[in-house]
């Protein structure tokens, strides 16, 4: 795929140079060399941007691969993560019903398209919450694949385990989108309600109960997969299994966190949430696994930063929080400036929940 003066060549060169600049290797670079890297990265961004408006670009595997490399570059250089956000949002045509024929041009099992699905799902999980808090939030797209239903069989090999993880992330993203829309509907209806106490209309109540029902079934599926990765399970003791386990526990804790909004808690419904002690236990297991895994990865380190930016909020002791900051520092040392945004978000959350000794 890598041909001199081709798009892939420019992508790999830009990301490799950026990685070197952002890590310890880059300390020896001169000002002129740094300027040359910035110019090359800007040129690469313009190349990708110029092809974004053409729908046929998304049917080109070379373009899609280059776009994912650009995504890594943005996570390395942008401390806010906003450029990554804007870039991944532009993948939406791949997943909308109107552009479903685009997906058909790919083998659904190709590695690059799997990674694209994973990136898009993680984006919808991490950024929709921020957009919802933001006053500019209007609407989240219903463009996540809805691969619902119980797991028919246990994944037996690496490709099947990757497929299962992606499907789990997509299911979580889809439920998160529906939950955010439901909360918005409740708030709007409550604002128009003349007589307290507020009670949701039949339609909104039905939607809420349907989301809960789907989340409960999803929660059981996640637990079943986690059991496959624990001691004695078919995926336990393997590097692949050990690497994936933190992600499943992240999904489990994130699903519970989804129902922490007062709009859910005030209804008196039975929700798929964990007691605080169990949430803290899950967060510690994830932290332990992430610490072991991040030591042996490079670009993949960014995924553990994303995981800890959510589950770190469940950790209450000063010692555990220091471990999270140290892990995020490891992610930053591997070239990802966006780790600073993860730390800032956690520090803000911890500010309202003082650490225990």
Collect all residues with Cβ–Cβ distance below 8 Å to 205 and sequence separation of at least 6: none
Per-residue model confidence (pLDDT) at position 287: 93
Stronger pLDDT, 131 or 51, i.e. the higher one: 51
Q: Tell me: the pLDDT tens digits for 34-89? A: 888 889 889 999 999 999 888 788 878 888 889 999 999 999 999 999 999 999 98
Of the candidates 76, 62, 63, which has an alpha carbon nearest to the alpha carbon of residue 14? 76
Q: Tell me: the pLDDT tens digits for 204-261? A: 999 999 999 999 999 999 999 988 877 655 555 555 556 788 899 999 999 999 999 9
Residue 197: asked if its preceding bond is cis (omega within 30°), the reply is yes
Instruction: Pick the range with the lowest mean pLDDT from 109-118, 271-280, 297-306.
Output: 109-118
Q: Tell me: the pLDDT tens digits for 8-46? A: 888 888 888 888 888 766 667 788 888 888 898 899 999
Of the candidates 32, 95, 41, which has an alpha carbon nearest to the alpha carbon of residue 70? 41
Stronger pLDDT, 6 or 251, i.e. the higher one: 251
Residue with tokens 């990554």: 84
Check whether 328 has a pLDDT greater than 90.
Answer: yes
Mean pLDDT on 132-137: 36
Collect all residues with Cβ–Cβ distance below 8 Å to 255 and sequence separation of at least 6: 172, 175, 215, 218, 219, 222, 272
Contact (Cβ atoms closer than 8 angstroms) between residue 189 and residue 201: yes
Stronger pLDDT, 95 or 162, i.e. the higher one: 162
Distance CA 209, CA 214 (A): 9
Per-residue model confidence (pLDDT) at position 10: 86
Mean pLDDT on 164-177: 90
Cα–Cα distances in angstroms (integers) from residue 341 to residues 34, 167, 238, 246, in the given order: 23, 27, 32, 21
Which pTM value belongs to this model? 0.84
Per DSSP, what are the bridge partners of residue 317?
356
**Max Cα separation, the chain?**
69
Distance CA 180, CA 141 (A): 11
Cα–Cα distances in angstroms (integers) from residue 90 to residues 49, 68, 97, 155, 355, in the given order: 10, 12, 15, 31, 39
Check whether 195 has a pLDDT greater than 80.
Answer: no
Output the average pLDDT for the chain: 82
Percentage of residues in the chain having pLDDT higher than 90: 37
> For every residue of the chain, which 3-state class applies, written as one string?
CCCCCCHHHHHHHHHHHHHHHHCHHHHHCCHHHHHHHHHHHHHHHHHHHHHHCCHHHHHCHHHHHHHHHHHHHHHHHCCCCHHHHHHHHCCHHHCCHHHHHHHHCCCCCCHHHHHHHHHHHHHHHHHHHHHHHCCCCCCCCCCCCCCCCCCCCCCCCHHHHHHHHHHHHHHHHHHHHHHHHHHHHHHHHHHHCCCCCCCCCHHHHHHHHHHHHHHHHHHHHHHHHHHHHCCCCCCCCCHHHHHHHHHHHHHHHHHHHCCCCHHHHCCCCCCCCCCHHHHHHHHHHHHHHHHHHHCCCCCCHHHHHHHHHHHHHHCCEHHHHHHHHHHHHHHHHCCCCCHHHHHHHHHHHHHCCCCEC
How far does CA 103 lie from the centroid of its chain? Answer: 21
Per-residue model confidence (pLDDT) at position 344: 92
Per DSSP, what are the bridge partners of residue 356?
317
Q: Tell me: the pLDDT tens digits for 260-284? A: 999 999 999 999 999 989 999 999 9
Check whether 153 has a pLDDT greater than 90.
Answer: no
Collect all residues with Cβ–Cβ distance below 8 Å to 320 and sequence separation of at least 6: 283, 284, 287
Per-residue model confidence (pLDDT) at position 235: 54
Among 52-66, 120-134, 317-331, the range with the most confident prediction by mean pLDDT is: 317-331
**pLDDT band for position 140 (50/70/90)?**
very low
């Amino acid at each position: 795929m890598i041909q001199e003066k081709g798009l892939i060549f420019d992508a790999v060169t830009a990301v490799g140079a950026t990685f070197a600049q952002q890590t310890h290797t880059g300390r020896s670079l001169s000002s002129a060399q740094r300027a040359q890297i910035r110019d090359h990265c800007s040129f690469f961004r313009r190349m990708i941007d110029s092809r974004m408006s053409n729908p046929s670009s998304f049917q080109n595997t070379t373009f899609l691969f280059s776009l994912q490399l650009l995504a890594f570059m943005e996570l390395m250089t942008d401390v806010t993560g906003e450029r990554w956000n804007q870039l991944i949002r532009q993948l939406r045509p791949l997943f909308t019903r109107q552009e479903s024929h685009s997906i058909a041009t790919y083998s659904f099992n190709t590695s690059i398209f799997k990674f694209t699905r994973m990136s898009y799902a993680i984006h919808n999980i991490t950024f929709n919450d921020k957009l919802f808090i933001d006053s500019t939030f209007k609407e989240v797209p219903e463009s996540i694949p809805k691969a619902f239903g119980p797991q028919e069989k246990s994944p037996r090999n690496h490709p099947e385990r990757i497929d299962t993880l992606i499907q789990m992330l997509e299911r979580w993203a889809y439920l998160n989108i529906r939950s955010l829309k439901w909360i918005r509907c409740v708030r709007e209806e409550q604002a128009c309600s003349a007589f307290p106490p507020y009670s949701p209309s039949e339609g909104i109540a039905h939607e809420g109960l349907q989301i809960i029902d789907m989340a409960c079934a999803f929660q059981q599926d996640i637990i079943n997969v986690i059991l496959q990765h624990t001691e004695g399970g078919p995926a336990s003791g393997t590097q692949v299994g050990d690497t994936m386990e933190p992600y499943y526990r992240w999904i489990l804790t994130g699903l519970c966190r989804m129902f922490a909004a007062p709009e859910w808690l005030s209804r008196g419904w039975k929700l798929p949430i964990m007691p605080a002690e169990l949430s803290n236990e899950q967060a510690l297991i994830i932290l332990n696994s992430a610490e072991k895994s991040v030591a042996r990865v490079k670009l993949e380190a960014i995924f553990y930063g994303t995981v800890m930016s959510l589950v770190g909020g469940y950790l209450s002791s000063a010692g555990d929080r220091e471990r999270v900051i140290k892990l995020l520092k490891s992610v930053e040392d591997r070239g990802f400036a966006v780790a600073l945004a993860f730390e800032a978000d956690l520090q803000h959350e911890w500010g309202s929940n003082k650490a225990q000794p």
